[in-house]
Structure 1
Amino acid sequence: MEMLHYLLFTFITTLLLHQNINNVDAARHHHHISKKQKSKTAPAPEDNSVSPSPGYPPPVPSDPSYAPDPTLPEEPENNSTTSCIFDVTDFGAVGDGDTDDTAAFRSAWKAACLVENGVVLAPSDLVFVITSTIFSGPCQPGLVFQVDGVLMPPDGPECWPKSDSSKQWLVFYRLDGMTFNGTGTIEGNGQKWWDLPCKPHKGPNGSTLPGPCDSPAMIRFFMSSNLVVTGLRIQNSPQFHMKFDGCEGVLINKLSISSPKLSPNTDGIHIENTRNVGIYNSVIHNGDDCISIGTGCSDVDIEAVTCGPSHGISIGSLGPHNSHACVSNITVRNAIIRDSDNGLRIKTWQGGTGSVAGIYFENIQMENVRNCVIIDQYYCLTKACRNETSAVYLTDVTFRNIKGTYDVRSPPIHFACSDTVACTNITMSEVELLPYEGVLVDDPFCWNAYGVQETLTIPPIDCLQEGMPETIAENPLYGC
Structure 2
Amino acid sequence: MKNGLSIGLFSLTASFGVFASPSFSPVTLEKLNIPNKQCNVRDYGAEATGIWYDTKAFQAAIDDCVQKGGGKVIVPEGYYLSEPLFLKSNIEFHLEKGAVLQASAEESAYHPTEKQQKWSSSAKSLPLAEQWIGFINIAEEKNIAITGEGIIDGQGSTLLEKYRAETRKAGKKGPTNRPRLLLFKDANNILIEGVTIQNSPSFHIVFKNVEDITINKTTISAPAWWQNTDAIDPMNSRRVSITKNNISVGDDHVAIKATENNLSHDFYIADNNFMLGRGLSIGSETNGGVSNLLAENNTFTDAMYGIRIKSPRGKGGEVKDIQYNNNTMINVKTPIVLSAYYKGGPTTKDARIKALQEGEFAGGFMLGDQIYPADNEQPKEYKEHETPYFNNISFNNLTVKGKTNYAGFIIGTPEKPFDNIKFSNINIESELGFKIRNASVEFSKTTIKVKKGTDIIKEKGSKITK
Is the TM value for this pair above 0.5? Answer: yes
**TM-score in terms of structure 2 length:** 0.76
**1:147 is aligned to 2:98:** no
CA positional deviation for 1:95: 1.3
Q: Which residue of 2 aligns with 1:465?
A: 463
> Is it true that 1:119 corresponds to 2:72 in the alignment?
yes
- The alpha-carbon deviation at position 433 of structure 1 amounts to 1.2
DSSP-derived class of the 1:458 partner: strand
Q: Deviations for 1:341-392, whole angstroms, at most 9, x for unmatched residues? A: 1110000111345310011111111111122111110111256899743312
Cα distance change, pair 89–388 in 1 and its aligned pair in 2 (3 A): farther
Q: Is the 8 A contact 1:56 1:226 kept in 2?
A: no
Amino acid of the residue matched to residue 290 of structure 2? V
Equivalence for 2:140: 174
Q: Distance in 2 between matches of 1:379 and 1:210?
A: 15
- Unaligned segments of structure 1, at least 5 residues: 1-45, 65-79, 468-480
Distance in 2 separating the partners of 1:318 and 1:388: 19
5+ residue gaps, structure 2, are: 16-32, 114-130, 347-359, 362-372, 374-378, 450-454
CA distance in 2 between partners of 1:282 and 1:153 (Å)? 22
The more displaced of 282-291 and 343-352 is 343-352
> Greater share of strand residues, 1 or 2?
2
Counterparts of 1:360 and 1:86, CA distance in 2: 43
Does the residue aligned with 2:245 lie in a helix, a strand or coil? Answer: strand
> Which amino acid in 1 is paired with 2:143?
G
> Equivalences for 1:235-246 in 2 at 5 Å?
235-246=198-209
Kept after mapping to 1: 8 A contact 2:410/2:437: yes
Aligned with 1:359: secondary structure? strand
CA offset digits 1:192-229 (Å, max 9, x no partner):
22222548x8649xx84663352110001211111111
Distance 1:214 1:60 in 2: 38
SS at match of 1:105: helix
> How do 1:387-466 residues align onto structure 2 when only pairs under 5 Å count?
388-390=380-382, 391-405=387-401, 407-409=403-405, 411-435=406-430, 440-441=431-432, 443-459=433-449, 460-461=455-456, 463=458, 465-466=463-464
Q: Distance in 2 between matches of 1:243 and 1:376?
A: 23
Match of 2:187 in 1: 224
Bigger relative contact order, structure 1 or 2 (CA pairs below 8 A, ≥6 apart): 2
CA displacement at 1:447 relative to structure 2: 0.8
Task: Assess, with a 3 A threshold, how the Cα gap between structure 1 residues 61 and 54 changes in structure 2: closer, same or farther.
Answer: farther
1:248 and 1:161 map into 2 onto residues whose CA distance is: 25
For 1:109, give the aligned amino acid.
I
The alignment yields a C-alpha RMSD, in angstroms, of 2.7
For normalisation by structure 1, the TM-score amounts to 0.74
Q: Is structure 2 residue 308 aligned with structure 1 residue 308?
A: no
Matching residue's letter, 2:13: S
Q: 1:346 to 1:91 in 2, by over 3 A?
A: same
User: Are 1:186 and 2:176 counterparts?
Assistant: no
Aligned residues: 383
Q: Once the 2 structures are TM-superposed, how far is the Cα of residue 106 of structure 1 from its aligned partner?
A: 1.5
| 1:461–1:81 Cα change, 3 Å | closer
Question: Is residue 178 of structure 2 the alignment partner of residue 215 of structure 1?
Answer: yes
Q: 2: CA distance between counterparts of 1:358 and 1:213?
A: 30
